[in-house]
Amino acid sequence: GAGVSQTPSNKVTEKGKYVELRCDPISGHTALYWYRQSLGQGPEFLIYFQGTGAADDSGLPNDRFFAVRPEGSVSTLKIQRTERGDSAVYLCASSLQAGGPSYEQYFGPGTRLTVT
Amino acid sequence: SQQGEEDPQALSIQEGENATMNCSYKTSINNLQWYRQNSGRGLVHLILIRSNEREKHSGRLRVTLDTSKKSSSLLITASRAADTASYFCATALNQGGKLIFGQGTELSVKP
């Protein structure tokens, strides 16, 4: 596709439920990043992948959050036992490579998660 | 935690005026980037400045970086109503890898 796509665009779930958020990066981009953004704040880093492996998962807030990228393209962010504090816009970005001259990250439109 | 602090938090100007936004950060960086965000959704990359650079231009944008003060500024000249958005600085501690964003400046340009 032309850009990073994320599905769903909006997700409303009940406290305690499990959710999956999907990210399709730009074709050929080897690095993929997840951030989340609360209202009025800047994006907060969660995890990034170089290829299939998680190169840095230091931003995941706790073990309820998990992300995979099994084939080095699409990634899924999984949140177990959702809490109201998980409500935010989850942003995905990709870049041509994580370590090299092309640092620019291209962001998707985000998934707005609301936990009721 | 956020690395960057941005100033001002909100800025309102008239079309044609210049807009200046500032960003301060805490640790040594590899590069600093500025992004624009409309309507609280996707971010658009504007410009990247490396730690060994002091100034960079792109169209109506001018970015400066002072590593001794750990600060950067973004200047938008001859602003337009379409420039209305939130602007974020983001620092990269290493080549590539994660970005650490500031809290942003909300710019409003009135026609």
- Domains in chain A, start-ordered, CATH in brackets? 5-94 (2.60.40.10)
Q: Which two tokens stand for residue A96?
A: 């041509």
Q: Are B98 and A45 in contact (CB < 8 Å)?
A: yes
Q: Does B88 touch chain A (CB under 8 A)?
A: yes
Question: Looking at the domain assignment, is residue B89 inside a domain?
Answer: yes
CATH number, domain with residue B99? 2.60.40.10
pLDDT of residue A31: 92
User: Chain A partners of B43 at a C-beta cutoff of 8 Å?
Assistant: 43, 91, 93, 107
Check whether B48 has a pLDDT greater than 50. Answer: yes
| φ and ψ of A55, to 5 deg | -80, -30
> Which among A35, A59, A99 has CB closest to B96?
A99
B14 Cβ partners below 8 Å, 6+ apart? B109, B110
> Which among A31, A95, A110 has CB closest to B42?
A110
Nearest-neighbour CA in chain B from A74: distance (Å)? 18
Question: Looking at the domain assignment, is residue B26 inside a domain?
Answer: no
Task: Give me the tens of pLDDT residue by residue for chain A, a chain 116 residues long.
Answer: 579 999 999 999 999 999 999 999 999 999 999 999 999 899 999 999 999 999 899 999 999 999 999 999 999 999 999 999 999 999 999 998 765 555 788 999 999 999 99
Neighbours of B55 (CB within 10 A): 10
A13 Cβ partners below 8 Å, 6+ apart? A19, A82, A113, A114, A115, A116
Distance CA B20, CA B109 (A): 12
Instruction: Look at A45 and B40; give whichever has higher pLDDT.
Output: A45
The residue of chain B nearest to residue A103, with distances taken between CA atoms, is B96
Helices and strands (H, E) in chain B, number of each type: 0, 11
Looking at the structure of chain B, the number of domains it has is 1
The pairing of strands A88-95 and A65-68 is: unpaired
Question: Looking at the domain assignment, is residue B23 inside a domain?
Answer: no
pLDDT of residue B1: 45
Q: Which domain holds residue B44?
A: 5-18+31-55+62-77+85-110
Check whether B106 has a pLDDT greater than 60. Answer: yes
